[in-house]
Chains A and B, each alone.
Chain A
Amino acid sequence: MSDIPANLIPIPATQAAPSQRVRSYWGSVWNRLRYDYVTLFCLALIILIVLSAVFAPWLAPMDPDKSSMANRLRPIFHPKYFLGTDEQGRDLLSRMLYGGRVSLLMGIMPVVLATTIGGLFGVVAGYYGGKVNMVIMRTMDVFFAFPSVLLAVAISGSLGGGITNQMLTLTVVLIPPLCRVAETATSQVRTMDFVDAARASGASTASIISTHVLINILSPVLVYASTLVSVSIILASGLSFLGLGVSPPTADWGLMLSTLRQSIYVEPLVTAVPGVAILITSIAFNLVSDGLRQAMDVKA
């Protein structure tokens, strides 16, 4: 199981000779990204996957939940069922499209939530330091005492299945690492003289954080958050695989993988389909975050 990678932080990049054309940091990031074809390709792939999930109702050739006992476990590339059918005779292509909605949601939403919440705690801990920092970061350390899969299984196992519980679980699991990254980045920014200059001009802490701290920690936090999308997708599908995700008729890649597993001897290729989707999505997100890391000049 992929686990949350340890990751540490950059000091905002110093660039060499002043360029003639005035270009912002984000401008230069884009400029580097523009020639990174692997990342662009993966980005396009992700957009495609997201779009196909969003437009599933229009794209899906059939009703994803309509079973047909006569057409169970049709093979891949069947004239009627492009990706075959599952153990209840439901069209796999349609289910894959719909399933992508849940799986992608579970990849992205917990990361967004955890970035917001964990980031907030991390910024507060990093900015104030001292006792505040100790309380927040020592609490996070306790969560680090669990491998992420174990923590997810523990929380999810107690809460029970369901989309909300799964989202809650994943958010809790992802908060500590994001908090740590934000904390490290913030405490580095905090020592910079421009923060003192802002304090000397009488700015409030809230204003300093929003104007000076956030933009400087944005890139390391974003890069790190983007690596967590794939972690989150895999964790989510893992939980669904264990029956801790959406409830059965709803399509979800992890759950589909789990239910199709029983048919492994009958139609092995069909069984592999949801996993391939998870794998491709996860690889795409991983490569994009690698590309972002390089483009944003964030040290691994």
Chain B
Amino acid sequence: MWLYALRRLVLTLPILFGVTVICFALVQIAPGDPIQNLLSPTASQEDADRLRAAYGLDQPLPIQYFIWIAKVLRGDLGMSIANNAPVATEVFRAFGNTITIALISVALAFVLSMILGVIAAYRSGSIVDKLITAVAVFGISVPTFWLGVVLVIVFAVNMFWLPATGMGASGSETFNYFNWEDFKFAIMPIIALALPPLGIMTRTTRASLAEILNQDFVQTLRAKGLSETAVMFHAVRNIMPQAVAMLGLQLGYLIGGSVLVETVFTWPGTGFLLNKAILTRDIPLLQGTILVLATVFVLINLVVDLAQSVIDPRIKRA
């Protein structure tokens, strides 16, 4: 187990290195002089020269990379052009908003997918099963940003139940998830975020349950006179490691993929930050946000793998 953990940890390092290389490359592939990409259009020539020296932009690329990565490791992600504020500060402020609704969404999706998956597998082939499968396909196929728009049309425009966008009057600083007036703002983003993972997880849960229920040992359990509920309980326990792995993966996807939903709802998270960076062509902000999100995604995968190896002792690929 410890060997596996260590090995997994060691294998993560080259991945993280690769992630930083790609993020570094983002500035390079952006059209135009990298220095222009890193500076606001109004910056003076001196500013440009200063930055050029600071980043060693006259040096060969590998050296530039090391200068950059040294700064990143010290927590310096550069300056946002639009706000003229440190990127790190902006990203971390936004990250809290993203992770909270992502966690709520993925938890919601997980619980619902388990319930729906169990029902579908239990009533395999019935109308209910088909209905659940249809919902799953819808969840997988639906563009979340469009779903967001539809939710706004239905709940905000037509019914006036929920506020359309933003975080409300209290704003990001004092937003309280346990206050109904505040939480109302989070409801639609959460639903929009939760639907795709709900679709994917429901489908997988149903499929793996169906597979297990067809296996010999389940027949044996049935033959021993176990009730269907108990059999299902066994089956669910069997797919747990897999389900947990998927849960983690989906959480990662939500954090990374929230840009569209946050844009629709102007939810001030990292996704919204990315949207802002794109609109203003703020490359440092884009680069810093991507770097943080990708790193988080890698770490989530690491944690999931380790958690899975604890739950499921069969994984000892050391």
List chain A positions with a Cβ less than 8 A from chain B.
1-3, 5, 138-139, 141-143, 145-150, 153-155, 157-160, 230, 234, 237-238, 241-244, 254, 257, 261, 264-265, 268, 271-272, 274-275, 278-279, 282-283, 286-287, 300
Given contacts A141-B18, A241-B263, A265-B157, contact A159 B31 (CB under 8 A): yes
Asked if B121 is an interface residue, CB under 8 A from chain A, the answer is: no
User: Which bracket fits the contact residues of B?
Assistant: 35 or more
| 16 intermolecular pairs with C-beta atoms under 8 Å apart | A2-B196, A2-B200, A141-B18, A145-B301, A146-B297, A149-B253, A154-B23, A157-B277, A159-B29, A159-B30, A237-B146, A242-B260, A243-B278, A257-B143, A264-B152, A265-B157
Q: Inside 8 A of A146's CB, which chain B residues have their CB?
A: 19, 22, 256, 290, 294, 297
| Contacting residue for B278 out of A244, A264, A282, CB 8 A | A244
B314 → A minimal CB distance (Å): 17
The answer to whether A157 touches B286 (Cβ under 8 A) is: yes
Instruction: Determine the chain A residues whose CB is within 8 A of the CB of B146 once the complex forms.
Output: 237, 257, 272, 274-275, 278-279
Q: Assuming the A-B contacts A147-B297, A238-B260, A242-B260, are A142 and B19 also in contact, with contact meaning beta carbons closer than 8 angstroms in the complex?
A: yes
Determine the distance from Cα of A242 to Cα of B29 in the docked complex, in whole angstroms: 19
The secondary structure that dominates the B interface is helix
CB atoms of A1 and B260 under 8 A apart: yes
Q: For the complex, give the distance between the alpha carbons of A3 and B286 in Å.
A: 21
Q: Decide: A142 and B141 in contact? CB cutoff 8 A.
A: no
Residues of B within 8 A of A139 (CB): 18
Task: Please pick, from A150, A230, A254, the residue contacting B297 in the complex, using a CB distance under 8 A.
Answer: A150
A286 touches B141 (CB 8 A): yes
Contact string against A for B residues 18-52, beta-carbon threshold 8 Å, 1 for contact and 0 otherwise: 11011100110111000000000000000000000
How distant is B61 from chain A, measured CB to nearest CB, in Å?
16
Q: Do A2 and B141 touch (CB < 8 A)?
A: yes
B153 touches A279 (CB 8 A): no
CB distance from A239 to the nearest CB of B (A): 9
- For residue B207, CB closer than 8 A to chain A, the reply is yes
B10 smallest CB distance to A (angstroms): 13
Q: Mark B258-291, 1 if CB is under 8 A from A, else 0.
A: 0111011000000000110111010100110010
Closest chain-A Cβ to B113's Cβ sits at a distance in Å of: 15
| CB neighbours of A254 from chain B (8 A) | 143
Given contacts A150-B290, A242-B275, contact A257 B137 (CB under 8 A): no
Closest to B294 in A: A146
Roughly how many angstroms separate A139 CA and B147 CA in the complex, as a whole number? 34
Given contacts A2-B141, A142-B14, A241-B260, 9 further A-B contacts (CB under 8 A): A3-B196, A142-B18, A145-B301, A146-B22, A146-B256, A146-B297, A150-B290, A153-B259, A238-B143
A271-B290 contact given A149-B257, A158-B283, A243-B279, CB 8 Å threshold = no
